[in-house]
């Protein structure tokens, strides 16, 4: 009985995987060169306001500790 349960579960998983692949295959995709160019342009335009590139000022950082941790 457990063999039938396992095989029915694997068949159901395979069907879901095939359906997902069909959906992905049917998507319209943009050309990589156009998308890449747009991505580079966007990154260059927003690089000054990007916290990962320029850092966060200490006064505006909500995660900075207010006081140092003191162990007793």
Closest CA to 60 of 70, 69, 49: 49
In tens, the pLDDT along 8-48 reads 789 999 999 999 999 999 988 777 677 888 888 988 898 88
Are 41 and 35 spatial neighbours (Cβ–Cβ below 8 Å)?
A: no
Domain regions of the chain by residue span: 1-42
Greatest alpha-carbon pair distance for the chain in Å reads 65
Q: Whole-angstrom Cα distance, residue 1 to residue 53?
A: 58
The model's pTM: 0.37
């Amino acid at each position: 009985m457990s063999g039938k349960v396992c095989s029915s579960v694997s068949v159901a998983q395979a069907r879901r995987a095939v359906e997902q692949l069909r959906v992905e295959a049917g998507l319209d995709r943009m050309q990589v060169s156009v998308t890449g160019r747009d991505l580079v342009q966007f990154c260059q335009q927003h690089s000054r306001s990007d916290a990962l590139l320029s850092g966060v000022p200490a006064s505006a950082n909500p995660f900075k500790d207010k006081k140092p941790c003191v162990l007793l």
